[in-house]
């Protein structure tokens, strides 16, 4: 595909969240397109934490394989705590093993003539595919949440519900994850302003905590854990073949 002005594929899948990764992995001729610079950004960049995993008939073998690799690396605990830094290499390895073709940092749009174009590291290319599955809206369903990692090292992690935000345990020792519910129209500027305002007026018991970093993607309250999302994508991808 390199240096070509046209990308030809059997199936084009837009939206490289955990669900999209599973969906594309189930279709041998699929090319997966993701606007972020990492796959699985819906969990990896959003600091997404606990979701109770539930499988009505047991996980797909490929989802079970991924779950086992995360647990072995302590990237995902049995309590549902997700370590984003450890998730990334495991997801990359899983995509390589399942031979998913991925275009990262790539955006899809229509030309004035109605042609489907892909803008990415290889420039702007026309896309010709027999089937197109746009999963991007699925990644933004549910409530809009902004998260930040709070450093409590040396003082003990504090969890609970406070005015305007909640704090829950993190997979990273000494840190808690702060979650703020946003309005659907809130921008990144709005989210960071709310974070600063709420943290500056926090309860005295939280005074020792410091904002370590904030999420690079909004989280959407899908009620799915990472393995459940991957599993659902695998099953739906197989059904769509």
For position 223, what pLDDT does the model report? 60
- Angstrom distance (rounded) from CA 218 to CA 42: 8
Report strand pairing: 30-33 vs 6-14.
Answer: parallel
Q: CA 150, CA 154: separation in Å to the nearest integer?
A: 12
Q: Which two tokens stand for residue 33?
A: 């397109």
Residue 104 has a pLDDT of 94
**Looking at residue 103, what is its pLDDT?**
94
pLDDT value for 2: 45
Instruction: Find the angle CA(105)-CA(108)-CA(110) to the nearest 5 degrees.
Output: 155
- pLDDT given for residue 3 in this prediction: 46
Strands 144-151 and 210-214: antiparallel
* All CATH 3.50.50.60 domain ranges in the chain, comma separated: 6-140+223-240
Pick the CATH number of 6-140+223-240 from 1.10.1740.10, 3.40.1190.20, 3.50.50.60, 3.30.750.24: 3.50.50.60
Query: What's the pLDDT score for residue 139?
Result: 73
pLDDT for 205: 96
Number of H helices, E strands in the chain: 6, 12
3-state secondary structure of 234: helix
Q: What is the pLDDT along the chain (241 residues), one digit of tens a residue?
A: 344 688 899 999 999 999 999 999 999 999 999 999 999 999 999 998 766 676 667 789 999 999 999 989 888 887 888 888 888 899 999 999 999 999 999 999 988 888 899 999 889 999 999 999 999 888 777 789 999 999 999 999 999 999 999 999 998 999 999 999 999 999 999 999 999 999 999 999 999 999 999 999 998 866 678 899 999 999 999 999 8
């Amino acid at each position: 595909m390199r240096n070509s002005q046209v990308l030809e594929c059997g199936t084009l899948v837009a939206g490289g969240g955990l669900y999209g990764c599973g969906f594309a992995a189930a279709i041998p001729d699929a090319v997966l397109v993701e606007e972020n610079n990492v796959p699985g950004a819906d969990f990896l960049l959003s600091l997404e934490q606990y979701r109770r995993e539930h499988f009505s008939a047991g996980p797909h073998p490929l989802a079970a394989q991924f779950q086992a690799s995360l647990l072995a690396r302590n990237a995902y605990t049995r309590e549902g705590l997700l370590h984003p830094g450890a998730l990334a290499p495991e997801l990359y390895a899983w995509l390589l093993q399942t031979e998913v073709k991925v275009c990262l940092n790539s955006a899809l749009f229509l030309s004035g003539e109605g042609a489907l174009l892909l803008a990415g590291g290889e420039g702007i290319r026309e896309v010709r595919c027999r089937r197109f599955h746009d999963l991007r809206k699925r990644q933004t369903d549910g409530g809009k949440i902004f998260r930040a990692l709070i450093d409590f090292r040396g003082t003990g992690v504090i969890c609970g519900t406070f005015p305007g935000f909640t704090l829950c345990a993190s997979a990273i020792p000494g840190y808690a994850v702060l979650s703020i519910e946003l309005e659907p129209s809130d921008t990144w500027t709005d989210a960071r302003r709310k974070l600063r305002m709420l943290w500056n007026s926090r309860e005295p018991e939280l005074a020792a905590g410091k904002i370590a970093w904030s999420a690079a993607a909004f989280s959407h309250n899908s009620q799915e854990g990472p393995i459940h999302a991957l599993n659902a994508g695998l099953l739906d991808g197989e059904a769509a073949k």
